[in-house]
Chains A and B, each alone.
Chain A
Amino acid sequence: MDLTTFPLLSLILWLPVLGALALFLFADARSIRVTALVVTLLDFAASLLLLPRWTPDGSMHYQEVLAWAAGLDFRYHLGVDGISLWLVLLTTLLGPIVVLFSWRNVTENVRSFFFLLLIQQAGMLGVFLSLDLILFFIFWEFTLIPMYFLIGQWGSGRRVYAATKFFLYTMAGSALMLVVILLLYFQTGSFNWLTLKEAGLDRTLQFWGFLTFALAFAIKVPMFPFHTWLPDAHVEAPTAGSVILAGVLLKMGVYGFLRFCLPLFPQATAIFLPWIAGLAIVGILYGSLTALVQKDVKSLVAYSSIAHLGFVMLGVASMNEQGLSGAVLQSVNHGLSTGALFLMVGMIYDRRHTRLLAEFGGLWRQMPVYSALFMVVVMASVGLPGLNGFVGEFTILLGAFRVNPLWAALGTLGVILAAWYLLAAVRGLLHGPLDNPANQHLADLDRREVLVLAPLVLLFFLIGLFPALFFDKITPAVELLLRDVGPVIGR
């Protein structure tokens, strides 16, 4: 088979959809689970095929173009570059992990649950792979639907409220995006990203285009002050939903900035960058401080996401090699470490059906394997050097320092606070006396649970010790972006 013409991206994109349809062939829950696992594993394997023949230039790889309608420049156009590559792999990696996690704890409507998970995955992959703006928009909006149902049906507590809020909030953000996409089309006659970024749009359109797109993306990230949908959605979502939300959905916002806002509207970018940096820094400090006073571990992790994504956006706002490459890597890092944190909170919740810190304490005595792994995940999340988070944070902060040392200094304060709120979680969960009778017979992790976490932990070390493997592919794409946009904004 000739790999150069084989539609690898389409395979990666549509395999989960086929898998979702295949679920209807089975009636028993076990076959459904196995099918979902096999499909997500195959999808991950397919996405790994992107790596061996990757040429480290910043261009779009594995492009597929299919004209849809004559006379209309709307195409089925896929491509992947160094910016989207690792996000695609992150998505396909988290697929089998959440399936395996949900193996036992999803017992109602098993088929619908896995169906939604699979089409959710396809939707997110579509967002990262689309090079046509209409195609992108369809996938972008589509991702809301399965997540809405996942939260609303399988969530906990105020799940309907949380799902509605999630839906309306993010929907409201992107509604106007379509208008701008149409405006762009009327001005340039194209929906094609490659064409549009060369088009040289006029200043006014850039200004309004940036604002509309940025609103949609800022809500998704979420940037302060558009973040209040996130704690509710995260906390009430089932674990698999939280992992996907934090792991991938938020990264769609970051990706949107990198893929669309910066290259399509460079002049507007120049105007708004300081504002993005400012909100990013507020997000870091505000998110960290609010995380500090949470009583529920899951909302602590949720607020920590706001802080972490603040770092990522600070990298974006730095608009230099270190800042942007760091932002891409840190997006992946956050997906891995916060994904792992949500999984671990889920494992506790499955056992105790509570997540209140006050209910726990001294778990290390009872669950040593869980606790040791939790410690590793926390350290990845606080950016301990040698693990993944540090590499991303440091490159981002270094990039920020080059633009404005004050940005870096304020951002680095967030690193101190991260240690504070996460070690407070460790203190509350694992340390202290094991004095709550309800915790005195908790079982440690079983094999399946260890298997769910193991790939993430291995990646913490791999990225932490050998980040060059990842930067090698990210940086050329970032350099290409900077070559186009850098001169416009004077960097």
Chain B
Amino acid sequence: MLNYSWLILLFPAAGAVINAFWGRRLGRRGVAVVANLAVLAALIMALIMAAGVRSLPAAAHGRYELTLWQWIGVGDLQVDLALLIDPLSVVMALVVTGVGFIIHLYAATYMKLDDEHHPLDARRYARFFVYLNFFILMMLTLVLANNFLQLYVGWEGVGLASYLLIGFWFHKPSAAEAGKKAFIVNRIGDFGLALAIMWLFFLFGKSAGSLGFHDLFAQLETLSAQNSPALVGITLLLLLAATGKSAQIPLFVWLPDAMEGPSPVSALIHAATMVTAGVYMIARTHPLYEMTPASMTAVAWIGGLTALLAASIALVQTDLKRILAYSTISQLGYMFLGVGVGAYAAGIFHLTTHAFYKALLFLAAGSVMHALHGELNIDRMGGLRAKLPRTYAQFLIGAAALAGLPLLAGFWSKDEILYITYQKNMPLYIIGLFTAFLTAFYSFRAVFRAFHGAPRDHHLHDHAAEQPAGMTRPLWVLAAGALFAGLIGIPAAVGGLFGVEHSHLLEAWLHPVFANVQTPHLPAWWELGLLGASSLIALAGLGLAYARYVRQAGWALRLQRLFSPVQPLLEHKYWIDEIYMAAIVTPLRRLARFFYTFGDQTVIEGAVNGLGRVTAGAGVAVARLQSGVVGLYALSLLLGAVGLLGFFLLFG
């Protein structure tokens, strides 16, 4: 059964090719059917693979490898294109194809209009779905890779898809610039991945004979001590790559701009799937990180600080999609925090629940945006609850899950990360808990500002209308996920209350992958106490948002005034874009111009021309050459060659 797993790549590839060549002839309906069927088929394949992994013999350690063909073979560098099918890659494949399919469904309706709400012609409609299917192909290539180099294929492939889709409305300069920025910033991360791969090959490649994950990990036993400098270097380079793809400090700056892409793109690529690739990679390469506690600490701190930084920026943003973008960065920070403290399963758990509720939020925001003819500023919304009842319900469910309100999906997964962090790193736990408070606050700030209260722009409000069923219906599936996906990871302490053993289904499923990782545990009552603390924090955030934005309570307004000095700092996102521009981009451009005008045109040209003049002074013949009689020179060269030949023939 598993030996047909390659079909999961073939389906989206076929979808992309068919729509690329025949999309215009198929028409919009045909294009949508082809693209959706391709992802649906891949989803079914992922389910079959999950069943296949379940029924693997115990000796296989839940792992099945399928070689497609020999890719690069030069000397001792031997790399295959091959699939690694194990519980971790199957979870990722399910998230990618599952959430991906829902988003494809939504997009089939959403993309009938262009960014100016004119009908989108079949050619461009087809192009969108070609890119979307191509993305699914590349994301599956990434998560199903059995070796580092193929991971890199997917890694850069999804980057290309992201670039093309961010810039889908390329006639808008802002969209075109955002796409370019995303690609280049990601390439800085890819620099880390490429070097890490070379370094790994340098260390272990000869003995491992490949770049396969498990072939390389098997060589780790040859290292005696933890934190060997080479391995710390490798894991930090991998971390650099992860900060690019997953928008963490210092490379997160591309993700907010990426919101220039159509909403389904933001949902699929820049929330649910691609941006989680960094988390996935660290989980996948955890044997390396387990050997380098120093790098683990770096991962955890980058995650924790990014979570806090992004959440603080999200507090003051007024663009609905940008709020969600910063919240995505912040949530990815939690996932980094999770894998950084060794809670790999918890990190993947949060990745999964986040995929549901964040995709839901982005698509609901897309519905709002369509209803308001492109308006995304929450300052101009208000009172949309009555106009868009279904969208309101969906956005509310997503926001509640994001805020970590008790029993919803985000609550369980975020809390599991905090639970492990509490035991491993107290400062980060406090940061994480405080960020949870901010998260609940900004989530409900968005809900209240957009949907509650009186409309602030009557023209917009009067023309708002609920979106067609093609868009609202698929969202209920995501909403169900945001409500109930947490059930796959109920902590044992809670399960114990109900007499359920092994209540954490996901952890049990992933056990073969993380079997050798020790997760510490506290007594059940302690864990329940921490759950309670998280609940209270989330409710406090919700309460503050309610007091400030619904009740307009005097104390809440005074509290806001208290913080008004830092507001500009947050509104300008700590000026990080500006700092990068001034510290890196502009100096590089100056250097480039200096090289070109001074280096090329003055120094080197000057030297060459000077040399030419010196030689020219040496003889009239050369001077004539300088004046452009090269044809003669060419002829004399030919004659010279013939003469030389004759010389040898006669005297040789």
Contact = CB atoms under 8 A, between A and B. Distances in A.
A436 to B, nearest CB: 13
A375 B183 CA distance: 13
B198 A398 contact: yes
A287 B69 CA distance: 36
A364 B631 CA distance: 43
Interface stretch (B46-54, B282-290, B501-509, B593-601): B593-601
Contacts of B592: 289-290, 292-293
A342 to B, nearest CB: 20
B257 interface: no
Contact of B167 (A164, A402, A424, A431): A431
B194 A362 contact: no
Nearest to A231: B600
Contact of A385 (B156, B184, B596): B156
Contact of A72 (B69, B202, B631, B649): B649
Interface stretch (A33-41, A201-209, A249-257, A413-421): A413-421
B612 A168 contact: yes
A416 B184 contact: yes
B218 interface: no
A364 B179 CA distance: 15
Interface in A283-319: 286, 289-290, 292-294
A255 to B, nearest CB: 19
B153 A364 contact: no
B625 interface: yes
B76 interface: yes
A416 B163 CA distance: 15
Interface in B72-128: 72-77, 81, 123, 127
B648 A164 contact: no
A408 B173 contact: no
Interface string A142-165: 101100110010000000100110
Contacts of B188: 416
Interface string B167-185: 1001111001101100110
A144 B592 CA distance: 31
Contacts of B600: 228, 231, 290
A69 to B, nearest CB: 5
A292 B299 CA distance: 34
A290 B596 contact: yes
B74 A322 contact: yes
B633 interface: yes
B608 A228 contact: yes
Contacts of B20: 372
Contacts of B648: 69, 72, 74, 134
Contacts of A385: 149, 152-153, 156-157
Nearest to B74: A325
B176 A148 contact: no
Interface SS, A side: helix
B65 to A, nearest CB: 19
A359 interface: no
Contacts of B198: 397-398, 401, 405, 408
Interface stretch (A9-17, A451-459, A464-472): A464-472
A236 B72 CA distance: 38
B191 interface: yes
Given A171-B633, A395-B72, A424-B180, A160 B628 contact: yes
Contacts of A167: 630, 633-634
Secondary structure at the B interface, as helix, strand, loop or mixed, is helix
B195 A431 contact: no
Contacts of B591: 289
B524 interface: no
Contacts of B71: 465-468
B195 A412 contact: yes
Interface string A418-441: 011001101100111110000000
Nearest to A472: B73
A423 B178 CA distance: 12
Highest count of chain A CB atoms <10 Å: which of B591, B626, B652: B652
Contact of A145 (B183, B593, B637): B637
Contacts of A137: 641
B12 to A, nearest CB: 14
Contact of B593 (A74, A293, A395): A293
Contacts, number: 189
B533 interface: no
A149 B202 CA distance: 49
Contacts of A427: 176-177, 180
A379 interface: yes
* A293, A364, A368: residue with the most chain B Cβ atoms closer than 10 Å: A293
Contacts of A320: 75
Given A168-B612, A171-B637, A468 B195 contact: no
Contacts of B634: 144-145, 148, 167
Contacts of B644: 134, 178
A71 B652 CA distance: 7
A289 B72 contact: no
A468 B70 contact: yes
A321 B599 CA distance: 35
B134 to A, nearest CB: 11
A296 to B, nearest CB: 12
B424 interface: no
Tell which of B74, B123, B592 has the most Cβ of chain A within 10 Å. B74
Interface residues of B, number: 70
B171 A415 contact: no
Contacts of A138: 641
B191 A413 contact: yes
A113 B152 CA distance: 45
Contacts of A274: none
Contacts of B76: 321
B638 interface: yes
Interface string B596-623: 1001100011001000100000000000
B201 interface: yes
A293 B195 CA distance: 27
Interface string A192-217: 00000000000000000000000000
Contacts of B630: 148, 152, 163-164, 167-168
A93 interface: no
Given A144-B634, A289-B592, A321-B75, A398 B201 contact: yes
A394 interface: yes
B153 to A, nearest CB: 4
A285 to B, nearest CB: 9
A7 interface: no
Contacts of A231: 600
Q: Which of B123, B202, B600 is most buried by chain A, counting CB atoms within 10 A of its CB? A: B600
A467 B81 CA distance: 12
B275 interface: no
A293 B596 contact: yes
A466 B589 contact: no
Given A145-B634, A433-B173, A401 B199 contact: yes
B171 A362 contact: yes
Contact of B153 (A171, A386, A413, A432): A386
A442 B630 CA distance: 39
A384 interface: yes
Given A228-B600, A293-B593, A468-B73, A434 B171 contact: yes
A467 B70 CA distance: 9
B511 interface: no
A475 interface: yes
24 contacts: A141-B637, A142-B638, A142-B641, A144-B637, A164-B625, A168-B612, A168-B625, A289-B591, A292-B588, A292-B592, A293-B596, A294-B596, A320-B75, A362-B170, A372-B20, A379-B160, A384-B157, A397-B198, A402-B202, A405-B195, A412-B191, A415-B187, A415-B190, A419-B183
Report, nearest first, the 10 A-B pairs whose CB atoms are least far apart. A321-B75, A72-B652, A431-B176, A289-B592, A385-B153, A431-B170, A401-B198, A290-B596, A419-B187, A416-B187
Given A144-B637, A227-B604, A431-B167, 4 more contacts: A292-B588, A413-B191, A419-B187, A466-B71
